[in-house]
Amino acid sequence: MYTYVHGGDIYTQKQTADGKAMVDFSANINPLGLPSGVKNAIRNAIKQCVNYPDPFCRELAQATADFLHVDKDWLFFGNGAADVLFRLALALKPKKALLLAPTFADYEKALRSVDCGISYYNLQPKHAFTVQKDILRRITPRTDIVVICNPNNPTGQLTGRELLEHILAKCNAVGAYLLVDECFMDFVDSSRAYSMRNLLADNQKLIILKAFTKTFAIPGVRLGYCLNADGALHKLLHESGQDWSVSVLAQEAGRAALLEKEYLHESYLLIEEERQYLINQLKALGAEVYGSNANYIFFYMEKPVQLKELLHKQGYIIRSCANYHNLGDGYYRIAVKTRVLNRGLIKAIKEARKNALITGTY
Ligand SMILES: Cc1ncc(COP(=O)(O)O)c(C=O)c1O
């Protein structure tokens, strides 16, 4: 049977035994929820659903290019960033990939679907799970693609610009693609956030992955894209799947989302404040908190064991990271949400600890 490994499973059990709705801390979505402009755009676009969507997402591409100050021909859209990953795998058919461990599971899933061999660069707790210079030695003439998630999921750790530029130079030297996943960069504090976008023009093998799903809280609509300056790769991407993977509703939602400047500003402020609140609370509970530069917190809490299950009983879904490569029991990731919900989760963790102590399972 197929096992779903991601967060966001609000469907298997919709409520607690006593009928309380589950609160999902396992998916890292903008806590402000759907922007009103996006909601209206989706509503207004319903009448256009009688037509096929634009296979080239022309209006969305122009709006995104203007928003990011890039060439619109560098953009390729898909049914969420995950869909773009599978397209890239099919288009590039790499034979050997280097992935971080731990990192987002779908790089491996997409690459394995085209029989690509995977090597892992194991991130170390002693370096707080950050990428170190020794990764350069792991990029060899046999490497076809290197994937760096920045900030990384689940750790929330950033790879510095200087090191990334060295990684890019090494990839260029050995003829490998460098895929930098910046899906969570929009949530990083402005003083630390940066993109590799300005290097696209001079690096045809640099690919950047981005998502609307997380930034604008539309994972159910599905909209993501990649940026790359090589026209030949774009042709391959179009040839590697259906022409209509981005629905009319998703294209209109994306265009409307890009107008939501106030929403973005408010969400940065909220996340900054709530991230710090959660970090402080978790540390006070004895957790080791790592990275956490994005809209999620990555931490290690040895006890109570089975924290995920204990919180689930209280109506909170969190992401156990035990099934990531190079991690084990005790590692968790939680989304940053609003204060009321964050406070509720912290209270539930305290409750779980108390019950574990009483029942002698702590
Ligand atoms: C790092 C990273 N990249 C890409 C994706 C896929 O995002 P989307 O929902 O747009 O397919 C995810 C989803 O969790 C993710 O964590």
End-to-end CA distance of the chain: 33
Maximum Cα interatomic distance, the chain, rounded to a whole number of Å: 63
What is the overall mean pLDDT for the chain?
96
pLDDT bracket for residue 17 (50, 70, 90)? confident
Which residue from 72, 83, 77, 75 is spatially nearest to 55, judged by alpha carbons? Answer: 77
pLDDT of residue 136: 98
In a mutational test of the pocket of ligand 1, which residue from 24, 83, 104 has the highest number of ligand atoms less than 8 Å from its CB? 104
Asked whether residue 357 carries a pLDDT value surpassing 90, the answer given is no
Summarize the confidence of residues 103-110 as an average pLDDT. 98
pLDDT, tens digit (0-9, with 9 covering 90-100), for 149-194: 999 999 999 999 999 999 999 999 999 999 999 999 999 988 889 9
pLDDT digit string, tens, across residues 21-32 = 999 999 999 999
Q: Is 34 in the pocket of ligand 1 (CB under 6 A)?
A: no
Work out the percent of the chain whose per-residue pLDDT is above 90: 90
Task: Quick: pLDDT tens for 308-320.
Answer: 999 999 999 999 9
Q: Which domains does the chain have, with CATH numbers?
A: 23-33+261-359 (3.90.1150.10), 36-257 (3.40.640.10)
| Centroid of ligand 1 to alpha carbon of 211 (angstroms) | 7
Asked if the model's pLDDT at residue 115 lies above 80, the reply is yes
Omega within 30 of 0 (cis) for the link into 102: yes
Distance between CA atoms of residues 16 and 169, nearest Å: 51
Compute how many other C-beta atoms are within 10 angstroms of the C-beta atom of residue 350. 13
Mean pLDDT of 96-117: 98
- Region of 172 (left: φ > 0; alpha: ψ -120 to 50; beta: rest) is alpha
The mean pLDDT of 209-231, rounded to a whole number, is 98
More confident residue, 359 or 61: 61
